[in-house]
Amino acid sequence: MDLPDDLDLPLERGEPYWYWLGGRPALDFVNTLRERWWRRVETLVTPGDLARWLVAAGVADAPPPAGPADVERARALREAIDAAVVETVAGRDVPAACAEAIDGALRRAPLREAVALEPSGALALTTGRDGPPVDRALAAVAADAAAMLGAAERGRVRICASETCSARFFDRSPAGARRWCSMRLCGNVAKARRHRRRHRAAAGRTPSDPRSST
C-alpha cells in the first residue's frame, strides 16, 4: 500500500488517502496513520476528516460535530490501539496504558439501556450510548478494539508481511494464515520480489547476464 513518493506532506486533508483493508473499524482506524514503517502519513488531519471517517467507517450515522481537541483525542486512542496491536502481534501482553486508554474512550460514552412504550402498547428495550456524538462514535471504535484484543479474537490480528506496508488487518480466512493486507496489492508484489530473487540467484552463475543488474 504505497503512497506517491512526491506527496505534499503534511496532508491538508486526509480523506482521499483512507483505505479499508483492516476488516473491522478498530484496524481501519489504526490504518489512518499510513506508512508507519517510513513517513507516518497522518490522514486524520482536520475535525472534518474525523467526522467523515466515523461515518465512512459505519460508527456514526451523520458527521458528528468535532473540533481540534476531538482530533487529538481520536489520534491518542488510535495510537493506544495500535500499541496494543503491535504487542499482540508480537505475542506479548497488551500494555496496561493501552487498556486504560480504550477504557477511557468507553467511559466517555457509556452504554445505557432505555425502554419506550410502543404504539402497540408493548415495551421496546433498546441499548444506546450517552454522551456527545463524536464520543459515541469513538466509543464504538474502542469497543471493537476491546473485542478484537480479547482472548477469543486476538490471534487473528495481523500486520501485513510486506516490508513496505504497515497495514494492520483482521485475518478472517478459514485457515488463519493470511499474510498480506491485500493479495492484489502486497501479496503479488512479494511474489514478484521472490521470483526476481530466485531469477537473480539462477542468473548468478552467469554474472555477465545484463538482466542480473536490475
Which residues sit at the interface with Zn ion, rule CB under 5 A? 160, 162, 165, 167, 181, 186
Nearest distance in Å: CB 49, Zn ion = 22
> What are phi and psi for residue 33, nearest 5 degrees?
-100, 105
H or E, element range at 133: helix 133-148
Residue number, 1 or 54, with CB nearest to Zn ion: 1
Residue number, 19 or 87, with CB nearest to Zn ion: 19
Residue number, 146 or 160, with CB nearest to Zn ion: 160
Nearest distance in Å: CB 159, Zn ion = 9
Residue number, 73 or 158, with CB nearest to Zn ion: 158
Nearest distance in Å: CB 165, Zn ion = 3
Longest dimension (CA), the chain: 88
Give 131's DSSP letter.
S
Question: CA 162, 150, 28, 74 torsion: positive or negative?
Answer: negative
Per the listing, cell 492484489 goes with: 184
Nearest distance in Å: CB 119, Zn ion = 51
> What are phi and psi for residue 21, nearest 5 degrees?
-105, 0
Nearest distance in Å: CB 172, Zn ion = 16
Query: What is the bridge-based pairing of β-strands 168-170 and 123-129?
Result: unpaired
- SS3 for 83? helix
Residue number, 41 or 186, with CB nearest to Zn ion: 186
